Structure 1
Amino acid sequence: MKKRVKAIIQVIMVIGIFLTLGIWQTTQADAADNSLQRIKQRGELIMVTSPDYPPYEFQVNKNGKSRIVGMDIDVAKKVAKDLHVKLVIKSMNFDSLLVAIQTGKADMAIGGINPTTTRRQSVDFSKIYYSGGQSFLINSSDVNKYKSVKNLRGATIGAQTGTLQYGLAKKKIPNSTVKGMDKSTDLVLALKTHKIDALGIEKPSAEAYVKNDPSLKMIPSGYHLDKNEVGAAIAFKKGSDSLVNAVNKSIDQIKQQHLTDQYLASAGKYMKVNTVNTSMWHYWSYFAKGVEYTILISIVATFFGVLIGVILALMRFSKQKWIRGLAISYTEFIRGTPLMVQVMFVYFGIGVVVNIPALISGMIAVSLNSGAYVAEIIRGGINSVAAGQTEAAESLGLSKRDMMRFVILPQAFKNIWPALGNEFISLIKESSIVSIIGVTDLIYQLNIVRADTYRGVMPIFVAMLLYFIMTFALTRLLNHYEGKMKHAG
């Protein structure tokens, strides 16, 4: 046991050293501010956003084609045009936006981000380009109950995790219970199903929901806030002074020409396009793309998971203590940490040193995770092979390699096929976690459809049905091959 703990500690230390070196290298590279020069040389301005927050940023489905639109997107396009570069948009969860720019995944983050004092300690901000104010969404049936923010004392308030609204609700509404969720769409659904009493949200977004959903109403927040912290600003990595100064010139023009009014009007037109037809069939291409990515990730993770699992299982049977220790340490460490953390570590942590795309990062993380579980399944299968089989193989003069290849492993796989099948089925469902880094799998597309259509439950039902179809089809396929193995035996 002591050796195992020691090996696990060594693995953690290696990871810590690896990250420290990566951060040091990044810091050294950024010691001289070349943020603007780097973008112009690349010819691209990479921006991250969370496109589930109309009218700031959301996806529109027009003629079967999907694209991200909204006031913030128009602001970003103006900035890119003034810099004479191409705008590249990456999507991910709101609470990952600042991490993305800190780790070099993007040049700037936009998404109705308020430049609070706490956030300014971690990232740089542009000037505020729009101040929409704060509001609360409530159910229409509660209009007489919650006439103002004073009536919300002691109520359950919802707010998006990591936002200004979450902190304000905790600080300024006495005796209230604040519940945070990653997606505003989840919060709206929680409100409509009476899991929360009110939802703290930016005023333009609240207005958008009220216009498109008659079951919701809006009340003013009544907050008295510092003008320097309230309003939407663009976030940058610390030390990006040249880039911030260039962007501020564009923001000055946006304010002087009152362009945000035009951008909001344009966003309103796009929102009407989305709500003309909110049937799930109209969004079939979204779900189809989600299924495509989910299957792709699952297939790749299955292949590499089995490969890693076999290698780790064989390492566990090695006579070399350090090889066994390495395999045990890896297996215990991976199985002892959540897949979500592993996905974020591969994308953001390793991304400090090597810039890995979101899809590849998701595949790597899910494969590494699956490999640890498959290793234990295969190890159990190898142990289940009767000792007489090994003795018989040795009597025939087979080498240990041939014995494992032709005698042990074939029988082991036959014994563990049901357990291995369950792991493959679980992979399809667990791969949904990659949506947190912006991979357009089924869960990611589900949230986009919910944001676009203002329908909370039906997209979830469609996703459930699609997951069931995929897992049921795989179950039948695995059962078919299991039957053939038994017949062959």
Structure 2
Amino acid sequence: MFAVFFSIEQVSVKADSTDNSVEQIKKSGKLVVGTSADYPPYEFTVKENGQTKYVGIDIEIAKQLAKNLGVKLEIKNMSFDSLLVALESHKVDAIISAMSPTDERKKSVDFSNIYYTGKQYMLINKKDASKYKTLSDFKNATVGAQKGSIQYELVQEQLSSSTLKGLSKLSDLVIALQSGKVNGIVMEEPTAKAYAANNSQLVAIDPGFTESSGENGSAIAFAKNSPALVAVANKTIAQIKKQDLINKKYIPQAAKYMSTSTKNNTMWSYWTYFAKGIEYTLIITIAGVFFGFILGTFLSLMRLSESKLLHSVAVCYIEFVRGTPLMVQVMFVYFGIGAVIQSLPALTAGIIAVSLNSAAYIAEVIRSGIESIPVGQTEAARSLGMSKQETYRYVVIPQALKNIWPALGNEFVTLIKESSIVSIIGVSDLMYQTQLVQSATYKGVLPLFIAMLIYFVMTFGLSKLLNLFERKLNHG
């Protein structure tokens, strides 16, 4: 019996000795916490001195955890359904985003003790208050829930007769509710009441969900086999509970931020958000066009090459990239390649993905332009003593560029719009900033309308500039 006890103790010590999660965080000097900052009062954004500030219950817990670890706190804001992928690929050290420790999630990550428990409510339109009161009233109705959340699973289990509408952002679900696309949204009690308190057209109700005690509540998630980090988190949670900080400090503080935000939520006061979004959108687009054009030129020449190897490599690359969605490519570069190169920033990952995607389309545009040049042009150049490289440089490429300029311009314009996809990995482009404004102002449609106008101005302006350059080429 002593031998068995000793053996078990040895295994436990050995397992703990291999866990260097705390040491790595202390060595880096920062705790990177992933969250989806559209879930007041847990985590949301406010504007303070023209800058975005993350606030809420979970943010305060993250601050306390970082303080206990003796490091700085870094918040990474992304869609809720991307958080677990970010944790497993080590893009974040922890998830503090009102996440419930379900049995399914426990297979992939470690959880701390539960730090807060809230009932599951339904957010509905005020005009439907007499129609929807209990779960049975939502039979054959359309119910919304955040993808990847416990609320999404609750709808599947307890509202099987309803149509489930899942979206990544809570702000998008609120838009769907107000526009009549869904009849109700499932969310935790504090969040439902927060939206209702800041929008007179909405009301929060308790429809009577049956909740599992084992999965009810919010906990901090860590990478699998991180007992040292879990121990520090549990100590932090115990400290917070002992002083009742959530009820006495964090919730009142969040309510104050929400009240202040509501009073100053005019769109003009958030112009810096849109300006920052334009800046990042243009950076991604210009970089994508530059690197995409260079790589695309090489790929087109490889595809036209007499070398079977170069031709095959180019064809495989072009067809593969064109046959997969840009969103998947962005996530693969950030979470896949980023798992190997952990220091890869989201902006860099976004530029790489957009450039690689654009190169495949530009390659085909350039190839079609080169093939449109009559063979006689090449033969005439070669008969004058020009080498193959000189023929391409001085005869074929200049004429091809004139022919492909309209198609090339369309690709540049399209890239401005497609760059919005990088918001899924937390890049502060125009779409990402628009979502922040939605979360901060509790307004869904107006920020989207402003974003549409900005995208139109950018694409229309670029189209006119490209047309001007095209006319100069034709007159040249």
Pairing of 1:189-228 with structure 2 (within 5 A): 189-228=175-214
Percentage identity across aligned positions? 55
Q: Shift of residue 301 of structure 1?
A: 0.1
Pairing of 1:349-388 with structure 2 (within 5 A): 349-355=336-342, 356-388=344-376
- 1:376-407: CA deviations, max 9, x gaps? 00000000011111011101111111111111
Match of 1:444 in 2: 432
In 2 relative to 1, CA 332–31 (structure 1 residues): closer, same or farther, beyond 3 Å?
farther
Question: Take 2:39 and 2:392, find their aligned partners in 1: how far apart are those partners?
Answer: 55
Question: Take 1:196 and 1:89, find their aligned partners in 2: how far apart are those partners?
Answer: 31
Q: Shift of residue 195 of structure 1?
A: 0.5
Range that drifts further, 402-411 or 363-372: 402-411
Q: Secondary structure at the match of 1:467?
A: helix
Match of 2:294 in 1: 307
For normalisation by structure 2, the TM-score amounts to 0.95
- 1:357-386: CA deviations, max 9, x gaps? 100000000000000000000000000011
Q: Shift of residue 330 of structure 1?
A: 0.1
Q: Secondary structure at the match of 1:45?
A: strand
Match of 1:8 in 2: none
Structure 2 unmatched ranges of 5 or more: 1-15
Kept in 2: contact 1:62–1:273 (CA 8 A): no
Kept in 2: contact 1:149–1:219 (CA 8 A): no
Counterpart AA for 1:337:
T
Q: Shift of residue 340 of structure 1?
A: 0.2
For normalisation by structure 1, the TM-score amounts to 0.93
Match of 2:24 in 1: 38
Question: Take 1:40 and 1:255, find their aligned partners in 2: how far apart are those partners?
Answer: 25
- 1:397-454: CA deviations, max 9, x gaps? 1111111111111111110000000000000000000000000101111111111111
Match of 1:143 in 2: 129
Match of 1:19 in 2: none
Match of 1:91 in 2: 77
Range that drifts further, 274-283 or 424-433: 274-283
Range that drifts further, 362-371 or 121-130: 121-130
Kept in 2: contact 1:93–1:182 (CA 8 A): yes
Q: Shift of residue 352 of structure 1?
A: 1.6
Range that drifts further, 270-279 or 206-215: 270-279
Kept in 1: contact 2:303–2:315 (CA 8 A): yes
Q: Shift of residue 152 of structure 1?
A: 1.1
In 2 relative to 1, CA 31–96 (structure 1 residues): closer, same or farther, beyond 3 Å?
farther
Question: Take 1:104 and 1:278, find their aligned partners in 2: how far apart are those partners?
Answer: 35
Question: Take 1:231 and 1:413, find their aligned partners in 2: how far apart are those partners?
Answer: 60
Kept in 1: contact 2:133–2:207 (CA 8 A): no
Counterpart AA for 2:49:
N
Which of 260, 267, 276 in structure 2 is aligned with 1:280? 267
Runs of 4+ in 1 over 3 A off after TM superposition: none
Question: Take 2:156 and 2:82, find their aligned partners in 1: how far apart are those partners?
Answer: 21
In 2 relative to 1, CA 420–31 (structure 1 residues): closer, same or farther, beyond 3 Å?
farther
Match of 1:467 in 2: 455
1:69 and 2:55 are equivalent in the alignment: yes
Which of 203, 217, 238 in structure 2 is aligned with 1:231? 217
Question: Take 1:298 and 1:185, find their aligned partners in 2: how far apart are those partners?
Answer: 26
In 2 relative to 1, CA 171–31 (structure 1 residues): closer, same or farther, beyond 3 Å?
farther
Q: Shift of residue 255 of structure 1?
A: 1.1
Aligned residue pairs total: 459
Question: Take 2:182 and 2:81, find their aligned partners in 1: how far apart are those partners?
Answer: 21
Question: Take 1:243 and 1:63, find their aligned partners in 2: how far apart are those partners?
Answer: 34
Match of 2:328 in 1: 341
Q: Shift of residue 228 of structure 1?
A: 2.3
Q: Shift of residue 467 of structure 1?
A: 0.3
Match of 2:38 in 1: 52
1:421 and 2:409 are equivalent in the alignment: yes
1:109 and 2:95 are equivalent in the alignment: yes
- 1:120-172: CA deviations, max 9, x gaps? 11111111101111100011000110122221122110001111101101110
Kept in 2: contact 1:156–1:178 (CA 8 A): yes
Counterpart AA for 2:271:
W
Counterpart AA for 1:274:
S
Q: Secondary structure at the match of 2:279?
A: helix
Question: Take 1:127 and 1:373, find their aligned partners in 2: how far apart are those partners?
Answer: 50
Question: Take 1:439 and 1:383, find their aligned partners in 2: how far apart are those partners?
Answer: 38
Which of 393, 405, 413 in structure 1 is aligned with 2:393? 405
Match of 2:282 in 1: 295
Q: Secondary structure at the match of 1:52?
A: coil
Q: Secondary structure at the match of 2:191?
A: helix
Q: Secondary structure at the match of 1:397?
A: coil
Q: Secondary structure at the match of 2:118?
A: coil
Kept in 2: contact 1:108–1:235 (CA 8 A): yes
Kept in 1: contact 2:124–2:203 (CA 8 A): yes
Range that drifts further, 251-260 or 433-442: 251-260
Q: Secondary structure at the match of 1:147?
A: coil
Pairing of 1:169-188 with structure 2 (within 5 A): 169-188=155-174
Question: Take 2:253 and 2:442, find their aligned partners in 1: how far apart are those partners?
Answer: 19
Counterpart AA for 1:352:
A
Question: Take 2:178 and 2:469, find their aligned partners in 1: how far apart are those partners?
Answer: 46
Q: Secondary structure at the match of 2:58?
A: helix
1:318 and 2:318 are equivalent in the alignment: no
Q: Shift of residue 31 of structure 1?
A: 9.8
Question: Take 1:237 and 1:36, find their aligned partners in 2: how far apart are those partners?
Answer: 12
